[in-house]
């Protein structure tokens, strides 16, 4: 793609600096669903502008272009860029967010051509059928790595592919993920062929001219003597819990020292499996005890992370909250048991004693390194802007207070909008923007931020970025690093605690970063299976498919399947699909994505019937409060007359209790209805259960014999 007079019809090329790599990438993406991966600061948005300009030439005049980004500030930045460079009348540009009333959005959508959305806003409008994407020629997904699970991008991409097969998708990110599976999932969710991935790294020759130097330093510290004592005591309590779970085979690992091999993520996975088994119909012996022990282990892991990453002062805050919560009637069994443990109590007393007489012993040694780094930087360059990332708000608060006592440092707290307590209030978007503006102007020179500062906000160019705690995610590592070395030289300093999980997380993140670039540079490898590496012996192991615990303990639905047609209700041309999904089915269950992943053919139909299997089984999803509606029984009786098996799913996934005991009362009502009527009444509490019920029917021998 070169700059011609034809280009100028859609592009204000006199305002744009043409970079060869941007033009080359844009040329390969025109009229093709594509993923563009570029380091922050290399102009992904300009590539999007170039592609948009060509799209306007190739598609009919009334065609629309939609630009999506996760936050309103980021959307406003894109609005400024596109309106500055695209040769389209200003009145054809509009920003549509949740701040605009739905009725007004319909009007603005129809009247405008270049539309800027937050993903949730567009998803809500599509779900409510306020308009369609039939005339949309291009959708641009910024920060495309968010396209996973039930994030709005995935639903929008599905609707787009369904409503407009000719439409083009452009995904932009600096960090798509390291593993082949993650990259494959991203491309699959956005309907992008693996061969249409275009990447540049900071080392590529055609971008070096535009790259500013970035120096990365890793500084490790050791645990103090007091930290080691407290750490060792918590480890002893944790090991007891892990050995209990291991002896009863709830975790596979067998070892004298389990906390080196069983990690927090393993316990989180086990928690989900235990909950699923308890909700199933199998033997529940030992499950409730295991669930409580597992919950205790997760709390103990959190304590360990606080010691390693944040300091004993933050651990003390956490223990004070633990003892306060333990006194409440609503407190969990796990919290009460740990609060009564004498070893945890001794730790608490020791920390309280130090808080009163030697509070400096509670401060993590990383803080002293941070303080020295900031003073050195601001002494050498008084105009520096420094961004410090801190994981937890309690730790962030302490750091800001201590830094504020140093004359050369002018720190400011920067957190998300959620309010945690009266002492830990969130920051509205207005306050966030005002704070960032003061940071740019030099009123503050050190912005101490939680992960809310990683992306989506217009933060000033930073001379130095400090990771106070390590992140194991390569995506977050890239996003944080990207806050410096955009237009001038920058530095990144990563602080970590030697010999702890901190150091492991750092190695993991850096390894993932290298792996990501290798995978993206050779897209043909993405179609190949990814080997699994053993933690113990480091050799490639053969992938073995293990049966899910959920599947073993879930209710068996085979006996409920019968043979009665729904042909009178469904359109004839859709009869070939054994699975029919209504457009009205709530998207949060992710049914379509799961069906696509399992390569199960299905049709999307415009009907009140939520899920129809084999034209004989009907599954309807209801709000549990529907059971109190007088018309409910008449409705379900009408539905039951058109099928042989009628399954009612009561959606407790995001259920918010409005009155005391409401959930218990509704479940009791469901049980009463179950006894009175010959239907299947099933309450579900997580998204996976509905799909498992569907799969149980689809895979049953009686189902196939229809």
Counting every residue written for the chain, the total comes to 706
Angle between helix axes 312-326 and 393-403 (nearest 10 degrees) is 130
Q: How far is CA 303 from CA 210, 294, 300, 338, 469, in A?
A: 44, 14, 5, 12, 15
From CA 484, how far away is CA 464, in angstroms rounded?
A: 7
Q: Cα Rg for the chain, rounded, in angstroms?
A: 28
Under 8 Å between Cβ of 470 and 496: yes
From CA 460, how far away is CA 387, in angstroms rounded?
A: 9
Strand partners, 681: 648
What pLDDT was estimated at residue 480?
Answer: 73
What pLDDT was estimated at residue 507?
Answer: 85
From CA 473, how far away is CA 34, in angstroms rounded?
A: 24
What end-to-end distance do the CA atoms of the chain give, in Å?
56
Strand order in the sheet with 645-651: 603-605, 579-582, 611-613, 617-622, 645-651, 680-684
Sign of the CA dihedral with 344 first, then 350, 353, and 355 last:
negative
CB atoms within 10 A of CB 226: 16
Q: 104: which 2 tokens?
A: 């007004």
Residue whose pair of structure tokens reads 């217009």 in the numeric block: 458
What pLDDT was estimated at residue 537?
Answer: 30
Q: How far is CA 47 from CA 17, 23, 194, 367, 466, in A?
A: 11, 7, 19, 41, 30
Under 8 Å between Cβ of 526 and 490: no
Longest dimension (CA), the chain: 81
Residues of the chain with pLDDT under 50: 1-8, 530-565, 567-574, 705-706
What pLDDT was estimated at residue 461?
Answer: 73
Show me where the domains of the chain are located.
7-210, 225-362, 377-499, 556-704
Q: At residue 19, what are phi and psi to the nearest 5 degrees?
A: -110, 135
User: Tell me: the pLDDT tens digits for 347-395?
Assistant: 999 999 999 999 999 999 999 999 999 999 999 999 999 999 998 999 9
Q: How far is CA 364 from CA 221, 360, 495, in A?
A: 9, 9, 11
Under 8 Å between Cβ of 15 and 3: no
CATH dotted code for 377-499: 3.40.50.300
CATH class of the domain at 556-704: alpha beta
Under 8 Å between Cβ of 51 and 10: no
DSSP 8-state assignment for residue 492: E
Sign of the CA dihedral with 289 first, then 290, 295, and 296 last:
positive
Q: At residue 447, what are phi and psi to the nearest 5 degrees?
A: -100, 115
Sign of the CA dihedral with 343 first, then 346, 350, and 352 last:
positive
From CA 76, how far away is CA 104, in angstroms rounded?
A: 19
Q: 14: which 2 tokens?
A: 């006199």
From CA 416, how far away is CA 456, in angstroms rounded?
A: 12
Residue 446 sits at the vertex; the CA angle it makes with 443 and 448, to the nearest 5 degrees, is 120
From CA 254, how far away is CA 256, in angstroms rounded?
A: 7
Residue 445 sits at the vertex; the CA angle it makes with 365 and 383, to the nearest 5 degrees, is 115
Question: β-strand 411-414 against 446-449: which pairing, if any?
Answer: parallel
Q: How far is CA 564 from CA 484, 602, 642, 706, in A?
A: 64, 19, 8, 9
Under 8 Å between Cβ of 174 and 516: no
Q: At residue 565, what are phi and psi to the nearest 5 degrees?
A: -75, 155
Per the confidence metrics, is the pTM higher than 0.85?
Answer: no
Q: 121: which 2 tokens?
A: 């806003």
Nearest one of 620, 650, 682, 647 to 562, comparing CA atoms: 647
Under 8 Å between Cβ of 344 and 319: yes
CATH dotted code for 225-362: 1.20.1320.20
DSSP 8-state assignment for residue 500: S
CATH dotted code for 7-210: 3.40.50.300
Where does residue 294 fall: left (phi above 0), alpha (psi -120 to 50 degrees), or beta otherwise?
alpha
Q: How far is CA 115 from CA 64, 112, 199, in A?
A: 7, 7, 26
From CA 65, how far away is CA 93, in angstroms rounded?
A: 10
Strand partners, 177: none
Q: Do domains 7-210 and 377-499 have the same CATH topology?
A: yes
What pLDDT was estimated at residue 255?
Answer: 80
Q: 343: which 2 tokens?
A: 């070893």
């Amino acid at each position: 793609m070169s700059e011609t007079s034809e280009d100028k019809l859609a592009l204000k090329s006199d305002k744009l600096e043409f970079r060869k790599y941007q033009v080359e990438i844009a040329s390969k993406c025109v009229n093709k669903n594509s993923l563009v991966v570029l380091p922050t600061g290399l102009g992904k948005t300009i590539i999007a502008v170039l592609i948009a300009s060509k799209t306007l030439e190739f598609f009919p005049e009334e065609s629309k272009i939609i630009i999506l980004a996760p936050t309103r500030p980021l959307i406003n930045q894109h609005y400024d860029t596109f309106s500055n460079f695209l040769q389209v009348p200003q009145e054809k540009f509009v920003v549509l967010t949740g701040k605009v009333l739905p009725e007004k959005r319909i009007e603005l959508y129809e009247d405008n051509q270049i539309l800027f959305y937050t993903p949730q806003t567009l998803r809500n409008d599509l779900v409510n059928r306020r308009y369609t994407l039939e005339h949309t020629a291009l959708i641009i997904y910024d920060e495309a790595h968010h396209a996973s699970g039930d994030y709005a991008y995935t639903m929008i991409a599905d609707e787009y592919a369904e409503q407009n097969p000719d439409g083009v998708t452009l995904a932009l990110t600096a960090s798509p993920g390291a593993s082949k599976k993650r990259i494959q999932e991203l491309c699959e969710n956005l309907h992008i062929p693996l061969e249409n991935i275009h990447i540049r790294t900071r080392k590529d020759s055609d971008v070096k001219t535009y790259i500013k130097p970035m120096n990365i330093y890793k500084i490790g510290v050791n645990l103090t003597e007091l930290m080691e004592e407290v750490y060792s005591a918590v480890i002893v309590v944790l090991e007891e819990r892990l050995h209990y779970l291991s002896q009863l085979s709830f975790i596979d690992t067998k070892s004298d020292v389990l906390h080196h091999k069983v990690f927090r993520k393993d316990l989180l996975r086990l928690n989900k499996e235990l909950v699923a088994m308890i909700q199933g119909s199998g033997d529940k012996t030992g499950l409730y005890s295991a669930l409580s022990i597992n919950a205790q282990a997760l709390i103990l892991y959190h304590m360990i992370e606080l010691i390693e990453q944040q300091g004993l002062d933050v651990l003390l805050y956490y223990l004070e909250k633990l003892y306060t919560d333990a006194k409440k009637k609503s407190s969990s069994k796990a919290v009460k048991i740990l609060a009564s443990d004498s070893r945890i109590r001794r730790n608490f007393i020791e920390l309280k004693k130090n808080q009163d007489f030697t509070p400096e012993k509670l401060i993590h040694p990383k803080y002293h390194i941070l303080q020295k780094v900031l003073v050195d930087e601001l002494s050498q360059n008084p105009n520096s802007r420094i961004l410090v990332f801190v994981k937890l708000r309690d730790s962030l608060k302490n750091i800001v207070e201590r830094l504020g006592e140093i004359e050369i440092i002018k720190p400011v707290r920067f957190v998300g909008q959620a309010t945690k307590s009266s002492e830990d209030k969130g920051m509205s978007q207005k306050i966030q923007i005002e704070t960032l503006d003061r940071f740019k102007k030099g009123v503050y020179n050190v912005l101490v931020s939680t992960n809310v500062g990683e992306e989506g906000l217009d933060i000033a160019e930073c001379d130095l970025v400090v990771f106070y705690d390590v992140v194991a995610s390569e995506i977050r590592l890239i996003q944080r690093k990207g806050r410096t070395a955009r237009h001038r030289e920058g530095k990144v300093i990563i602080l970590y605690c030697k010999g702890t999980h901190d150091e492991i997380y750092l190695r993991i993140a850096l390894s993932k970063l290298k792996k990501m670039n290798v995978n993206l540079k050779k897209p043909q490898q993405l179609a190949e299976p990814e080997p699994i590496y053993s933690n113990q012996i480091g050799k490639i192991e053969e992938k073995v498919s293990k049966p899910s615990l959920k599947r073993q303990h879930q209710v068996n639905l085979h006996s409920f399947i019968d043979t009665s047609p729904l042909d009178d209700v469904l359109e004839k041309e859709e009869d070939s699909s054994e699975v029919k999904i209504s457009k009205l089915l709530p998207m949060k269950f992710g049914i379509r994505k799961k069906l696509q992943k399992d390569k199960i053919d299905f049709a999307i139909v415009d009907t009140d019937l939520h899920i129809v299997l084999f034209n004989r089984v009907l599954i309807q999803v209801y709000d549990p409060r529907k059971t109190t509606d007088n018309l409910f029984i008449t409705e379900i009786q009408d539905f039951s007359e058109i099928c042989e098996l009628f399954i009612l799913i009561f959606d407790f996934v995001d259920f918010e209790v409005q009155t005391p005991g409401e959930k218990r009362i509704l479940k009791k009502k469901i049980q009463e209805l179950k006894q009175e009527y010959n239907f299947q009444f099933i309450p579900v509490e997580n998204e996976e259960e509905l799909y498992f019920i569907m799969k149980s029917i689809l895979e049953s021998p009686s189902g196939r014999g229809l």
